[in-house]
Each structure stands twice: as structure tokens, then as C-alpha cells.
């Protein structure tokens, strides 16, 4: 009779090895969470913030500093205007904190957000109607 996995003696977690998650992996996860947030996109182009434009085909730029199991995350995004900026960035901050913590097992203490581009709805021709 062979032993099934359920009947084998449990092994202490410390004896099984250890898992290391790189900053790059956390950056990709945070970037994907950001792009899934309504109204948030990546940006392309530009130099020192000049000429930067919204690009829905790219993930936002993310930098992570990992200290043990604590992470600080910096995100650079483009936002579709006229969404409420404060509400959108708060929702983005909470989504990143929640999802990165759940998926990676790290404590996200800080999420800094830079808005690189505001892009108006593509249905406009650049003109506004005054009422």
C-alpha cells in the first residue's frame, strides 16, 4: 500500500526551503494591477516629463524598493481626463496595496503615484462648447 499525500507526515515550512520574490516581479504585478484600474494607462515618450503621452497599450512604469517583506512602490501613470483625479489615485493606491500584498505576501507600506499625462476622451475634437 502506498502512502497518499494526505497521510504523509507534515514537513515544517522552514525545512521545505524558502521563496524569494524579486522587485521586478512585484513591479510587473503592480503595473498589471494599475492598468486594470479604470481610467489608468501607461505613458510613452517624453524626456523629463515633456512630451509624455498616454498609451493604452503599455503598463504604467513601476519602481519597487523591497526591504525584507516590506515594499514601497512608485507608479507613473497616464489618466483619462475628466475622471476625478483624487478618487482615481486613491482607488489605484488601494488596489495596488491589496493585490500586491495578496499575491506576493509582502506588506505594501507606501504607494507613490505620479501622473505623467492627462488625456481627454477620444470622442472630442479639442473644442469645448460654452453654454
Q: What is the pLDDT along the chain (131 residues), one digit of tens a residue?
A: 555 555 556 777 678 787 788 999 999 999 999 999 988 888 766 555 555 555 555 788 999 999 999 999 999 998 988 889 999 999 999 999 999 999 999 999 999 999 988 887 655 555 555 55
Q: What is the pTM of this model?
A: 0.72
Q: What region does 53 belong to: left with phi over 0, alpha with psi -120 to 50, or beta?
A: beta
| 82 cis-preceded (ω within 30 degrees of 0) | yes
Given this model, what pLDDT does residue 83 score?
A: 87
Distance CA 80, CA 4 (A): 54
CB 78 within 8 A of CB 116: yes
What is the H or E stretch that residue 91 is in?
A: helix 85-104
Q: Does residue 6 sit in helix, strand or coil?
A: coil
- Among 97, 77, 98, CA closest to 88: 77
Looking from the CA of 23 toward its CB, the CA atoms found within 13 Å total: 12
| Helices 85-104 and 23-35, axial angle in degrees (round to 10) | 140
Give the helix/strand (H/E) hosting 16.
helix 13-16
Amino acid at each position: 500500500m502506498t502512502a497518499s499525500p494526505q497521510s504523509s507526515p507534515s514537513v515544517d515550512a522552514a525545512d521545505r526551503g524558502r521563496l524569494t520574490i524579486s522587485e521586478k516581479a512585484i513591479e510587473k504585478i503592480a503595473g498589471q494591477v494599475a492598468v486594470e484600474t479604470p481610467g489608468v494607462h501607461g505613458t510613452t515618450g517624453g524626456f523629463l516629463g515633456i512630451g509624455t503621452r498616454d498609451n493604452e497599450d503599455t503598463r504604467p512604469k513601476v519602481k519597487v524598493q523591497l526591504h525584507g517583506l516590506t515594499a514601497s512602490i512608485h507608479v507613473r501613470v497616464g489618466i483619462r481626463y475628466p475622471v476625478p483625479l483624487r478618487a482615481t489615485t486613491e482607488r489605484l493606491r488601494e488596489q495596488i496595496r491589496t493585490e500586491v500584498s495578496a499575491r506576493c505576501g509582502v506588506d505594501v507600506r507606501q504607494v507613490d503615484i505620479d501622473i505623467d499625462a492627462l488625456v481627454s476622451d477620444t470622442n472630442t475634437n479639442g473644442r469645448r462648447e460654452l453654454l
